[in-house]
């Protein structure tokens, strides 16, 4: 298979009409330039260059190959330009995409002026988009350890119990885990794993879970209306708590957190936009 680097070297030698001048322009040693030409001639099974009267010129075979070499190099350069202009496709679960990603994404684009195509949806759909190649990187609340992908834990976000301002718990400094057993626990999008965390850490006292509300915004409105309580990531209710529309009540003696993840295909070059975005996210990782 023809080597693109060797083709560039061949064109440089033709342009400079000498090996040493080409080496200076390419920032290579003269011996490396000579070796590139030898390998290219071996691949094509023909002599490409000849020295006449102190300068290097193309042989008949070299003259035939020269326009093809230029086409190869130009195609490679156009390919890089086209790929560089393609949008970075990010898929994020609803809570992450809505409450945590936006400012971080703005910072990334300020340092990396590349277009971004952001899709926000339920965790299972985010995972599916990544697996079938419709997303370059995903941020989600869980991952099922699929082969061919790299998974990173990037943020531990605390979970808080939220109640309406007129709820009996609103004036309390904390509630015991056993008190959840008699409560209606409102849930949002499928696949968030919130109820799984409750069951794992609290067992049978986790309360009666009611799902189907679709997303955290619907859950917050249902809690404000007095339909029940909920457990959500702290970042999702910052504004409502400040405005007095909801109250966060600590769970006494238990710290509940959710580890958020960022996943990308394995084997990406470091310079790839997805790799740079993963690096940006991890370098700004924090616990909420």
**What residue spans of 132-225 are helical by DSSP H?**
194-202, 216-224
Given 28, 51, 85, the domain boundary residue is 85
CATH number at residue 142: 3.40.190.10
Name residues whose C-beta falls within 8 Å of residue 62's C-beta, 6 or more positions apart in sequence: 10, 14, 47, 48, 49, 50
Given 67, 85, 103, the domain boundary residue is 85
Residues 105 and 39 both lie in one domain: no
Residues 208 and 242 both lie in one domain: yes
In this structure, the number of other CB atoms found within 10 A of the CB of residue 77 comes to: 10
- Please report, in tens digits, the pLDDT of each residue of the chain (288 residues total): 889 999 999 999 999 999 999 999 999 999 999 999 999 999 999 999 999 888 999 999 999 999 999 999 999 998 887 777 778 999 999 899 999 999 999 999 999 888 999 999 988 999 999 999 999 999 998 888 889 999 999 989 888 899 999 999 999 988 888 888 778 888 755 555 565 666 666 665 555 566 667 788 999 999 999 999 988 889 999 999 999 999 999 888 888 888 899 999 999 988 889 999 999 999 876 544
CATH number at residue 25: 1.10.10.10
pLDDT at 178: 82
- What gap in Å lies between CA 231 and CA 256, rounded to an integer? 10
Residues 31 and 64 both lie in one domain: yes
Q: Are 220 and 198 in contact (CB under 8 A)?
A: no
Helix (H) or strand (E) holding 81: helix 60-85
Residues 15 and 71 both lie in one domain: yes
Given 63, 85, 107, the domain boundary residue is 85
Q: Are 54 and 19 in contact (CB under 8 A)?
A: no
Residues 93 and 185 both lie in one domain: no
Helix (H) or strand (E) holding 58: strand 55-58
Q: How big is the CA angle at 119 (ends 115 and 120), to the nearest 5 degrees?
A: 140
Residues 173 and 129 both lie in one domain: no
Residues 167 and 233 both lie in one domain: yes
Q: Are 224 and 164 in contact (CB under 8 A)?
A: yes
Residues 116 and 168 both lie in one domain: no
Helix (H) or strand (E) holding 149: strand 149-163
Residues 95 and 164 both lie in one domain: no
Given the structure tokens 């834990």, which residue do they identify?
153
Name residues whose C-beta falls within 8 Å of residue 140's C-beta, 6 or more positions apart in sequence: 92, 93, 96, 123, 126, 127, 260, 261, 263
- What gap in Å lies between CA 284 and CA 152, rounded to an integer? 13
Query: What range does the domain containing 60 cover?
Result: 4-85
pLDDT at 22: 95
Q: Are 186 and 223 in contact (CB under 8 A)?
A: yes
pLDDT at 288: 46
Closest CA to 96 of 130, 122, 67: 122
Q: How many residues does the chain have?
A: 288
Helix, strand, coil percentages for the chain (3-state, nearest 5): 50, 25, 30
Residues 277 and 139 both lie in one domain: yes
Q: Are 33 and 19 in contact (CB under 8 A)?
A: yes
Residues 61 and 28 both lie in one domain: yes
Paired sense of beta strands 149-163 and 49-52, if any: unpaired
Paired sense of beta strands 49-52 and 257-265, if any: unpaired
Looking at the structure of the chain, the number of domains it has is 3
Cross-strand partners of 160? 232
Q: Are 261 and 146 in contact (CB under 8 A)?
A: no
pLDDT at 196: 63
How does DSSP classify residue 98?
I
Residues 278 and 135 both lie in one domain: yes
Name residues whose C-beta falls within 8 Å of residue 116's C-beta, 6 or more positions apart in sequence: 87, 88, 89, 90, 105, 109
């Amino acid at each position: 298979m023809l080597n693109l680097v060797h083709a560039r070297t061949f064109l440089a030698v033709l342009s400079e009409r000498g090996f040493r001048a080409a080496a200076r322009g390419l920032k290579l040693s003269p011996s490396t330039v000579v070796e590139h030409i030898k390998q290219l001639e071996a691949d094509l099974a023909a002599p490409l260059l000849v020295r006449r009267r102190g300068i290097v010129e193309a042989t008949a075979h070299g003259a035939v190959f020269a326009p093809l070499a230029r086409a190869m190099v130009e195609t490679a350069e156009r390919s890089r330009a086209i790929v560089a202009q393609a949008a970075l496709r990010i898929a994020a679960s609803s809570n992450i995409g809505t409450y945590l990603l936006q400012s971080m994404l703005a910072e990334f684009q300020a340092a990396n002026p590349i277009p971004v195509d952001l899709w926000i949806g339920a965790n299972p759909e985010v995972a599916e988009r990544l697996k079938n190649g419709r997303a370059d990187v995903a941020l989600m609340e869980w991952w099922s350890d699929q082969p061919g992908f790299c998974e990173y834990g990037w943020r531990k976000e605390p979970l808080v119990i939220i109640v309406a301002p007129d709820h009996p718990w609103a004036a309390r400094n904390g509630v015991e885990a056993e008190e959840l057993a008699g409560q209606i626990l409102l849930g949002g999008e499928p696949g968030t794993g919130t109820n799984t965390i409750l069951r794992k850490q609290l067992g049978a006292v986790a309360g009666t879970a009611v799902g189907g509300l679709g997303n955290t915004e619907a859950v917050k409105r249902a809690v404000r209306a007095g339909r029940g309580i909920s457990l959500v990531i702290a970042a999702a209710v910052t504004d409502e708590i400040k405005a007095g529309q909801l109250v966060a009540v600590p769970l006494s003696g238990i710290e509940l957190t959710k580890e958020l993840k960022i996943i990308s295909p394995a084997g990406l070059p470091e310079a790839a936009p997805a790799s740079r975005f993963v690096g940006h996210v991890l370098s700004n990782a924090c616990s909420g």
